[in-house]
Chain A
Amino acid sequence: MKKDLKMYWKKNLSLMVVLLSIWAIVSYGFGIIFVEQLNAIKIAGFPLGFWFAQQGAIYIFVVLIFIYYFIMKKVDEEYDVHE
């Protein structure tokens, strides 16, 4: 039982690390640090870095939270800690 809970917590933490890395890459990475390099690429009328900073990162934020919700729902049930 105790061991299972440790595994549950570990799974939760590693999922968090993955999702937060994506969060940081799309906003701070694509939107700020590499914005000038990405602006050289254009998609329709959008310079890519500018698009990430004013549109793309926000869409990805929303998706990240829903991914966390769905995966954790499964993990909660797998380890029998759901409500």
Chain B
Amino acid sequence: MVVKSAYMARKAGTRDKSELKNSGFTPEEEIQAYSDMLLIRRFEEKAGQLYGMGFIGGFCHLYIGQEAVVVGLQMAQEEGDQVITSYRDHGHMLASGMDPKGVMAELTGRRGGYSKGKGGSMHMFSREKQFFGGHGIVGAQVPLGAGLAFADKYKNNGRVSFTYFGDGAANQGQVYETFNMASIWKLPVVFVIENNRYAMGTAAPRSTAMADQLGARGGAFGIPFEQVDGMDVHAVKEAGDRAVEHCRTGEGPYILEMMTYRYRGHSMSDPAKYRAKEEVQKMREEHDPIEQVKARIIKGNIASEDDLKKIDAEIRVIVTEAAEFAQGDPEPDVSELWTDIYVTA
């Protein structure tokens, strides 16, 4: 099945780089973007469900609505580029190619989770997939991500660090300390501001000067920036290509302000009293990232409704299996309480 093979090929990391330079997507890339975004959406829906059932504890921040950002940028990356983000991180992990079973099992605090159940939703990592977390302190990942880029430059390895943060984190002082150093040291880092318009329950204009111009703040440090329709995976990927080109050729950092939207609350315990249901509904109906790609696929005769249903079914199986694994996997052995505190040389 062409659809499935394209999906699997993406997972195996065998993209044809020459195709990625084109402004439009190849048919395979359209399918790939659709599949990857759908996987994140279905995964997050399931996570929300498991939270409601009590399988997932603590904080759980869903990425639903923002899928195009991480999927589009993943398509602009090369193997070895690093990704680091905040606690709204499940989408980034899946896009990085991490195993949905391992991610879901971490959400349920089981031994098969990426952090052996000791990190949870907000603190998950995969060195193998170059995913560096998963950080729970708002904005902390920004200098950390620049530090990954510092190491890349130091080693001259040609890699680029994708450092994600939200409009809320954009008010943290350390972000601007980092912009300053990234600029003077020309660090190969793409700062991705996921502007979903709400810092927890605070609408951006209530907390943020020039709330729709967050990327422009980098201009004060001489960092090029652009604002991107983060609901359109095409636009995201194209901007990502420009950013990567800039970083990889030694020109220093680049800022992408992704205008996006989260459909769900800040976390599972968010009653969402701060915005109208109609606002969410309008965004879903008119700007949904997955529906946009789906419409293009159908209109362009890239795949049929039936083909897409097969992808959907395939993804549901992946997510169901992940959920079953995450519920059935045992909790960590009690001896794990005392491990991983120090690296023993």
| A, B from the same assembly | no
Q: Which residues of A contact B (CB under 8 A)?
A: none
